[in-house]
């Protein structure tokens, strides 16, 4: 029987972040991944300023900046008329050391964190290690690995995604909805900004059949839009169909190198904690990708948990209850609210109502104070200030003009 302080299930970006943060604080961790290697999924690609503060704490921000693309501007555009409003993150340069979005593929972030984890003697990554059973005790948790091995941990962190086996074994409900519509994600190697000269690196598109996104990442462009209910997956992936949609959204039909169909979920765990089992990231909450908040909120879950578990709190049980409540409220009150609003507003089917929403956004972008407030919310700085992360940290951040994390709370 193997014994460890913390067992983390799932070597995705949030599980890896948790492992690195704990190992850097001297905690022994085992990271269990059911697959044979790290995933190479496109998925999330935007990192907001508070997540770059976390990365600075973890010692990986320079690697991320070198691998990613700095996007100081982003825009909202209409599928017919072009730019509706453009926002410049330099307007919040007095609030953060990182007045931009960093465009970096999720798998590249995972590779950066994994490389750092593998330098830590406190940490071990175990591939081909699927959790097949779990027993929760008052002072430890027993995990069954691959149906035969037993691993005993003081704490178990579930970072194994929206279909979390740990959440299921812990008997924690995952409440919410799955959007009835699907999304089509296209990967494009052609230079879209040369074909559509007014594009920024991050673009959100108003369209009557559902929200669209056009994002630049280091290796290619990604375009995402809603698939109407009458279109099956095979049709959606056909050149004829997505070519016409690209022409509608952007006025061009570039060559597509890959397609992916997926559903969007708005769900949250009934609790982010059951005894010594703790949920982070998609295992705890899933949301629409519009606005780039899913991966970032998972990183915030992880950092807040890292500092809570390693704090000098006189009552760790109470501190973890507070962490679970704080992060669940952040998911519901901030991430779900904003991502749902973004998805619904951009996909407003009625022309008149959609026009009103665009007029509202134009007015915000033209008013410096309102634009700054909008950027504070869309960058997740406002969210993190309302729901502080890193409350167990010995000292606040010093990497930017202002701290996003709370002073130590005891």
Q: What per-residue confidence (pLDDT) applies to 394?
A: 47
> What tokens does 281 get?
């990231």
Q: Given phi > 0 = left and psi -120 to 50 = alpha, else beta, which region is 316?
A: alpha
Strands (DSSP E) found in 122-274: 123-126, 131-136, 141-145, 149-158, 174-188, 202-206, 212-217, 220-227, 258-269, 273-274
352 within a domain of the structure (yes/no): no
297 within a domain of the structure (yes/no): yes
Q: Which range of residues forms the domain containing residue 310?
A: 2-71+101-175+266-346+382-386
287 within a domain of the structure (yes/no): yes
**Other C-beta atoms within 10 Å of 409: how many?**
13
Flag whether pLDDT at 194 surpasses 70: yes
- pTM of the shown model: 0.91
Residue 240 CB-density burial (10 A; 0-12 exposed, 13-18 middle, 19+ buried): exposed
145 within a domain of the structure (yes/no): yes
CATH at residue 38: 3.50.50.60
> What tokens does 139 get?
């002072």
Domain count, the chain: 1
Question: Is pLDDT larger for residue 227 or for residue 117?
Answer: 117
> What tokens does 186 get?
């296209």
Which among 30-44, 49-63, 348-362 has the top mean pLDDT?
Answer: 49-63
323 within a domain of the structure (yes/no): yes
pLDDT tens sequence across 5-23: 999 999 999 999 999 999 9
pLDDT tens sequence across 225-264: 888 888 999 999 999 999 998 988 888 899 999 998 887 7
pLDDT tens sequence across 267-326: 899 999 999 999 999 999 987 666 667 899 999 999 999 999 999 888 999 999 999 999
396 within a domain of the structure (yes/no): no
203 within a domain of the structure (yes/no): no
355 within a domain of the structure (yes/no): no
């Amino acid at each position: 029987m193997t014994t460890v302080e913390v067992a983390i299930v799932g070597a995705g970006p949030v599980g890896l972040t948790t492992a690195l943060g704990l190992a850097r604080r001297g905690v022994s961790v085992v990271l269990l991944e059911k697959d044979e290697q790290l995933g190479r999924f496109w998925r999330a690609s935007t990192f907001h300023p508070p997540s770059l503060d976390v990365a600075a704490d973890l010692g990986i921000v320079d690697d991320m900046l070198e691998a990613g693309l700095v996007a100081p501007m982003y825009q909202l555009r209409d599928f017919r008329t072009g730019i509706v409003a453009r926002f410049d993150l330099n307007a919040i340069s007095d609030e953060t050391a990182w007045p931009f979005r960093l465009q970096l593929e999720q798998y590249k972030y995972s590779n950066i964190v994994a490389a750092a984890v593998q330098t830590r003697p406190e940490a071990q990554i175990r591939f081909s290690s699927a959790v097949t059973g779990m027993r929760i005790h008052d002072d430890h948790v027993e995990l069954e690995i691959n149906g035969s091995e037993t691993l005993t941990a003081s704490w178990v962190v579930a970072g194994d995604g929206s279909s979390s086996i740990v959440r299921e074994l812990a008997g924690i409900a995952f409440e919410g909805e799955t959007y009835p519509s699907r999304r089509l994600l296209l990967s494009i190697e052609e230079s879209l900004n040369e074909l559509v000269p007014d594009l920024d690196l991050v673009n959100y598109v108003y369209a009557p059949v559902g929200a669209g996104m056009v994002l630049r990442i280091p290796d290619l462009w990604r375009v995402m839009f809603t698939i109407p209910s009458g279109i099956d997956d095979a049709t959606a992936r056909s050149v004829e169909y997505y070519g016409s949609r690209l022409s509608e959204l952007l006025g061009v039909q570039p060559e597509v190198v890959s397609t992916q169909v997926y559903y969007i979920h708005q769900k949250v765990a009934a609790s982010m904690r059951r005894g010594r089992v703790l949920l982070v990231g998609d295992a705890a909450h899933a949301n629409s990708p519009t606005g780039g908040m899913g991966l970032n909120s998972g990183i915030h879950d992880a950092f807040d948990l890292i500092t809570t578990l390693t704090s000098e709190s006189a009552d760790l049980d109470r501190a973890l209850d507070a962490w679970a409540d704080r992060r669940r409220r952040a998911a519901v009150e901030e991430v779900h609210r904003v991502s749902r609003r973004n998805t619904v507003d951009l996909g407003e089917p009625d022309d008149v109502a959609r026009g009103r929403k665009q007029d509202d956004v134009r007015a915000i972008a033209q008013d410096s104070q309102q634009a700054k407030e909008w950027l504070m919310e869309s960058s997740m700085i406002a969210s993190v200030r309302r729901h502080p992360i890193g409350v167990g940290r010995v000292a606040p951040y010093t990497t930017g003009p202002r701290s996003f994390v709370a002073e130590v709370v005891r």
